[in-house]
Amino acid sequence: MIQPPTWVIQYLPLVYIAFLAAFTGYEVISRVPTLLHTPLMSGSNFIHGAVLVGSMVMLGLAQNLPEQIVGFIAVLLGAANVTGGYAVTDRILEMFDRAKQREKKPEA
């Protein structure tokens, strides 16, 4: 019988956990009411900011080129995630701004 390479055996549980986490996250978030979406976005933006700081620290500690490449990609994706999260949160909060809603209403 053919044995898979050791790196497949080593990383297969991590891939399984990543897929399970993605599926669970999708199922949980899809059931969140609209009213709770904004507070959850704010909380996740905080967590993404901490992830971004961690990836910057790991990039600073990288000692060879593959580690630096992966660290740079992590910082780039983390920064994009934080920026996009704050943009989406700002848009959602604009929907609840009553002053702007009054300005948009045409008066009879």
Question: What is the band of 100 on the pLDDT scale with cuts at 50, 70, 90?
Answer: low
Same domain, 71 and 56: yes
Domain range for 68 is 34-104
Average pLDDT value over all residues in the chain: 83
Same domain, 20 and 49: no
Same domain, 27 and 77: no
Residue with the bigger pLDDT between 90 and 20: it is 20
Same domain, 11 and 38: no
Q: Could you read off the pLDDT of 33-64 as tens digits, one per residue?
A: 877 776 777 777 788 888 899 999 999 999 99
Q: 26 φ, ψ to 5°?
A: -65, -45
| Interatomic CA distance for residues 41 and 49, integer angstroms | 12
- Predicted model pTM: 0.57
Same domain, 41 and 76: yes
Same domain, 90 and 51: yes
Same domain, 58 and 47: yes
| Interatomic CA distance for residues 87 and 12, integer angstroms | 35
Same domain, 50 and 96: yes
Same domain, 2 and 52: no
At residue 107, the pLDDT reads 59
Same domain, 93 and 56: yes
Same domain, 44 and 68: yes
Domain count along the chain: 2
